[in-house]
Structure 1
């Protein structure tokens, strides 16, 4: 069965122009019922949904005195945070009605522009990344209480995030071509892991769901990469955009990734198949951020045109439990599966760009095509006879291919069962 017969392209549900200038970032609440955006107009807007994607009301929050670069929600929905070029972070607490207080708690965090903020998994701390080349950890309950200073960067820090299932790990990246992972249990403030790509400015990162060894990262060279932090190697590499990639984020299922670029598009990747699924071109100008809701059923895109667009994802939202694991054995298995698709993703990405030149055109890979494409990487019999080790490599590739096909068959089976039970089919 061809996946193109299963998935339908995301549908634009509605668009809103509430900000007066470029919208830099967007974030859904953990329960997917609210949305927060921030803008060059110095304001944060809290959006309240009435139905699935119908806006019931919105609140315009004025706490900053300059461009607001980033927002993030606490996992327990107690508050959200915004950071700005005014060098401050505003913590907006939510009341019993789940609406924000109009007066934020203001943190004087850095001596230069703050570009990123991330709440810890328990919500008791948050991290900030700044043009002053530092990442700092703050208490969410004690105003201006700094608990750690993370060193190492030699240029602007573009993004910093807590690991979703380990509140002692913080990753950061920036203009110095470095991806750092800091272990807060180590008190010297220096990174415990480092990935460097010379000459490449990293713009954003995201942890693979519930796994501390896999990270996606976007960059100014129009590329998206997925790194295995244990080996410091890229498992997947997508050269799918034609402009700098500003933001990248995993779907909660672990099956998909969404990116946003200066080329005016957002792209959704199927990382198990190693290719672009959909190219979305709705905004006029650069897209700065695309964020999935936690339920996986919707996502939002924002950009230079000041518009907030809300989409129905139409993706498979069930978690693949065989993927969302966090131990060395399972991480190794996930890494092998992603590497299997990475052998063809560079060619596939370029082909997908040609196929998706028109607005919202999709490109997918069938099960039969998977076998054919992976088979192209096998060597011939003459080469095998010269080097017995090649036979071992072939057998290893066959095992990986069998595992990948088995996973795809399980996904197809789930979809077929769901379609059989659908009353309208």
Structure 2
């Protein structure tokens, strides 16, 4: 990654500012092509924001309570949402799209995630389980249930062969899809993890922790690689840049941080939110990222990370700190890199606050929002899912009866 030949590298910059939810935003995801963003909210809705200036946005409001998570299929033809009402809804992201719903768990569903083929879906719940489903028929396949408390999130690895889960039992668990076995367990003494993200290479995971920390683990070697203490409050979400060289994080301290993983240091502290930041995500190409939280705001940023040059960082940071904004350098947080074995008391990250920018002040709150109800198609799909589950259970009963008959015949 080389810097701009005309001068120092470019900083992230706010591009769009959306408001429209009436409750806090719980999760966000870019569509595969990067032209839309899906946000779930405590206001019981999902909004699809179209980043094309003149296009309208669509609000789906078929959940009966808070929506905790949202996911796009790899091809962008489906969106799944996880509700506090125990249901998962799968629908086409258009006004007159086909939709379906099924009761996935006995307690609130916290997250949903598609695998790399789009054929499988993963759900995590307060019922302490993670379940694997076949998308086409809403068919239950397997359950991963070694957790002893609420499961906050479950994510497929990039190749779809592994699953990472984080739970309120203070564990990070790695499951093998084919065998169903838990192959790695990492525990945290200080606080429970809130979110997990796979590195693009598929051999590492980052965990957002309630003790204000971020940890990165090597899954194959079963060891901790990096530890960052760059937030002053619990960390709610983390996302890797597609290059694998940067990590984005959002926290209850209302800030977003960008970490340079190769150098093992924070490089940006971004402001703009007035309450906890619950969700962060990059586009597939890494050119943009988005942040959202309890303040009901959705901020879309140009990342400009393709211009970043680590050799220029200290000069850029010094220039920012000597300018009019003396708060560019903060010494209130610290960082440890287990790769280098060093720690620094000062955080030299560059501070960016876009609230005086034109992009922030021109909030996109006058767009046309089309409300869409999914209830018309949900009943038949729900019945289909229930029928599949009944058929599966009957098959299990038949198999057990045959085994008992075999034993008695002996």
Query: What is the TM-score with the length of structure 1 in the denominator?
Result: 0.72
Q: Quick one: structure 1 residues 255 and 74, their matched pair in 2 at CA, closer, same or farther if it must change by over 3 Å?
A: same
Q: In structure 2, how many angstroms separate the alpha carbons of the residues matched to 1:101 and 1:309?
A: 28
Match of 1:104 among 96, 99, 105: 99
Q: Please, which moves more after superposition, 284-293 or 309-318?
A: 309-318
Q: CA-atom RMSD, angstroms?
A: 2.3
1:337-382 superposed Cα distances (whole Å, 9 cap, x missing partner):
x9775423x42xx511x6557747xxxxxxxxxxxxxxxxxxxxxx
Q: What is the DSSP-based 3-state SS (H/G/I as helix, E as strand, rest coil) of the residue aligned with 1:13? A: strand
- Count residues in correspondence: 325
Q: In structure 2, how many angstroms separate the alpha carbons of the residues matched to 1:161 and 1:6?
A: 37
Q: In structure 2, how many angstroms separate the alpha carbons of the residues matched to 1:123 and 1:130?
A: 21
Match of 1:284 among 259, 270, 274: 274
Aligned residue in 2 for 1:263 = 253
Residues 146-161 of structure 1: pairs in structure 2 closer than 5 A: 146-161=140-155
Return the offset for 1:22: 0.5
Q: In structure 2, how many angstroms separate the alpha carbons of the residues matched to 1:176 and 1:164?
A: 25
Match of 1:223 among 210, 213, 223: 213
1:180-219 superposed Cα distances (whole Å, 9 cap, x missing partner):
1111211xx44121111224201111111032x2111110
Q: In structure 2, how many angstroms separate the alpha carbons of the residues matched to 1:275 and 1:262?
A: 20
Which 5+ residue runs of structure 1 have no aligned equivalent? Answer: 319-337, 361-425
Residues 69-88 of structure 1: pairs in structure 2 closer than 5 A: 69-88=68-87
Q: In structure 1, how many angstroms separate the alpha carbons of the residues matched to 2:165 and 2:37?
A: 24
Aligned residue in 2 for 1:172 = 165
Return the offset for 1:283: 0.5
Q: Quick one: structure 1 residues 215 and 355, their matched pair in 2 at CA, closer, same or farther if it must change by over 3 Å?
A: closer
Return the offset for 1:101: 4.2
Q: Quick one: structure 1 residues 44 and 2, their matched pair in 2 at CA, closer, same or farther if it must change by over 3 Å?
A: closer
1:9-35 superposed Cα distances (whole Å, 9 cap, x missing partner):
211112111111111111001111111
Matched, 1:132 2:160: no
Which 5+ residue runs of structure 2 have no aligned equivalent? Answer: 309-335, 355-410
1:70-109 superposed Cα distances (whole Å, 9 cap, x missing partner):
1111112221111010001111124xxxx36455210210
Query: Comparing both chains, which one has the higher relative contact order based on Cα–Cα distances under 8 Å and sequence gaps of 6 or more?
Result: 2
Q: In structure 2, how many angstroms separate the alpha carbons of the residues matched to 1:272 and 1:9?
A: 18
Match of 2:341 among 343, 354, 357: 343
Q: In structure 2, how many angstroms separate the alpha carbons of the residues matched to 1:358 and 1:302?
A: 16
1:370-407 superposed Cα distances (whole Å, 9 cap, x missing partner):
xxxxxxxxxxxxxxxxxxxxxxxxxxxxxxxxxxxxxx
Q: In structure 1, how many angstroms separate the alpha carbons of the residues matched to 2:54 and 2:25?
A: 18
Q: What is the DSSP-based 3-state SS (H/G/I as helix, E as strand, rest coil) of the residue aligned with 1:127? A: strand
Q: In structure 1, how many angstroms separate the alpha carbons of the residues matched to 2:156 and 2:92?
A: 20
Return the offset for 1:154: 0.7
Q: Quick one: structure 1 residues 174 and 36, their matched pair in 2 at CA, closer, same or farther if it must change by over 3 Å?
A: same
Q: In structure 1, how many angstroms separate the alpha carbons of the residues matched to 2:78 and 2:291?
A: 22
